[in-house]
Amino acid sequence: MSTTHVSTVLVTGGAGFIGSNFCHMLAELRPDWRVVNLDALTYAGNLENLTALEGHPNYTFVHGDIRQPEDVRRALDAAGDPGQVGVVHMAAESHVDRSIQGGLPFVTTNVAGTQVLLDACRERGVARFVHVSTDEVYGSLGDAGFFTEETPLAPNSPYSASKAGSDLLVRAAFHTHGFPACITRCSNNYGPYQFPEKLLPLIIANAQEDKPLPIYGDGMYVRDWLFVRDHNEAILTVLEKGVPGEVYNIGGNNEMPNLRLVKQVLKELGKPESLITYVKDRPGHDRRYAIDASKIRRELGWEPRYTFERALPLTISWYQSQGEWLQRLRSGAYREYYSRQYGA
Ligand code: NAD
Ligand code: TYD
């Protein structure tokens, strides 16, 4: 197994949930590296997530859109010597329910934006490119079995279809041009800084305020939950040790039905299960995701370090201590989305 030496990481989408955690992790684990964060600051991008890095000599924020070639070139200029640059591509429209309300932004950012980024990075000759994708590109599982890297792509939502499209463009850049890219596909993440439209921060925030917790359908949809720090350590491992052209699944063998997750959160918060409210199901709702992550464990030596029993209470107490952060996100434009989605 060989290691690629990069000294600068260009992160796209670094003001979002996973990206901001990734920037904090790099400052801790690779303090000598430079980090350039290219982010358009959509509703999901929040510079408040990164205040601890402001003024850090190795950290640069570039406000720009991956769909705009000149913005991407500005970020690459800031990153410097392309032979030392690794790109970690996280910028995306990421919420399934929003993609059901309207798919076009998902196509322009996730598909077209990825191609713009690939073209500019190839033109410059960056050393490595990691495309951060999702297990949702594989579609839905029945009661048994796991997604492997060989599972055919069968996305079911506009979000997952746009991510699958971007995966295919990254694959094509490797096969056609020898562009040194890897693809990662991870299961559902949880942890600090997640936008409160996603299940876990939404139910923590609602439960804290004794508001109803909207559960789609029968609540028996299964997701495979991984702590965001474990995901980010896996991405760093792929950046440094991944073989170009390869796909790596990332997951922690931690699948459970949504209802179990929600009841666990209520227990931790000391709130009653009567807050659980069954609402209209999501159309086309994938029944079960579960990841076989044996390839990245075997070939690159990554494994998760956080158990669910340890990381869930950490996550809940983080949101409990971030009341103002949460309130700011739950006000304004988010309220409009919430009433469209839940009719409240
Ligand atoms: P997020 O929605 O929290 O953050 C996305 C970030 O991308 C935001 O900061 C936003 O401003 C930025 N962005 C959006 N459009 C942009 C554009 N056109 N140009 C530049 N920046 C733009 O998303 P997240 O949950 O942090 O997910 C990050 C990546 O990881 C996504 O690619 C997602 O598909 C993937 N992923 C997420 C999960 C999960 O559970 N959250 C699991 C697997 C994979
Ligand atoms: P989500 O966090 O949107 O992630 P994804 O759809 O990408 O897996 O949803 C996780 C699960 O929780 C999914 O099965 C849908 C369900 N869910 C609800 O039951 N109620 C909600 O309000 C939300 C947002 C999600």
Phi, psi (rounded to 5 degrees) for 10 = -95, 110
Rounded average pLDDT over 139-167: 98
Rounded average pLDDT over 230-249: 98
Give the integer Cα–Cα distance in Å for 151 and 146: 9
DSSP 224-283: E-EEHHHHHHHHHHHHHHPPTT-EEEE--S-EEEHHHHHHHHHHHHT--GGGEEEEPPPT
123 classed as catalytic: no
pLDDT for residue 1 is more than 70 = no
Rounded average pLDDT over 170-190: 98
Catalytic one among 39, 59, 93, 159?
159
pLDDT of residue 121: 98
Catalytic one among 39, 65, 71, 135?
135
Which residue CA neighbors atom 13 of ligand 2 most closely? Answer: 221
Give the pLDDT band (50/70/90) at residue 289.
very high
Q: Is the CB of 41 within 6 Å of ligand 1?
A: yes
The ranges assigned to domains in the chain are 8-189+226-253+289-305+335-342
The least confident of 28-37, 179-188, 237-246, 330-339 is 330-339
pLDDT for residue 33 is more than 80 = yes
pLDDT of residue 168: 98
Q: Indicate which ligand has the atom closest to the C-alpha of 140.
A: 2
pLDDT of residue 328: 87
CATH of region 8-189+226-253+289-305+335-342, choose from 3.90.420.10, 1.20.1560.10, 3.40.50.720, 3.40.190.80: 3.40.50.720
* Rounded (5°) CA angle 196-223-103: 60
pLDDT of residue 323: 87
pLDDT of residue 344: 53
- What ligand 1 atom has the least distance to the C-alpha of 46? 9
pLDDT of residue 300: 98
pLDDT for residue 11 is more than 90 = yes
- What ligand 1 atom has the least distance to the C-alpha of 66? 19
Q: Indicate which ligand has the atom closest to the C-alpha of 286.
A: 2
Residue range 202-225, pLDDT digits in tens: 999 999 999 999 999 999 999 999
159 classed as catalytic: yes
Which residue CA neighbors atom 20 of ligand 2 most closely? Answer: 215
Q: Indicate which ligand has the atom closest to the C-alpha of 71.
A: 1
For a mutational test of ligand 2's pocket, the pick from 189, 258, 277, i.e. the residue with the most ligand atoms closer than 8 A to its C-beta, is 258
- What ligand 1 atom has the least distance to the C-alpha of 186? 43
Nearest CA to 155 out of 224, 103, 116 is that of 103
pLDDT of residue 338: 84
Query: What stretches of the chain adopt beta strand conformation (E)?
Result: 8-12, 34-39, 59-63, 85-89, 128-134, 181-186, 189-190, 213-216, 222-224, 226-227, 247-250, 255-257, 276-279
pLDDT of residue 106: 98
pLDDT for residue 235 is more than 80 = yes
pTM for this one? 0.98
For a mutational test of ligand 1's pocket, the pick from 12, 18, 62, 197, i.e. the residue with the most ligand atoms closer than 8 A to its C-beta, is 18
pLDDT for residue 334 is more than 80 = no
Give the integer Cα–Cα distance in Å for 183 and 250: 10
337 classed as catalytic: no
pLDDT of residue 102: 97
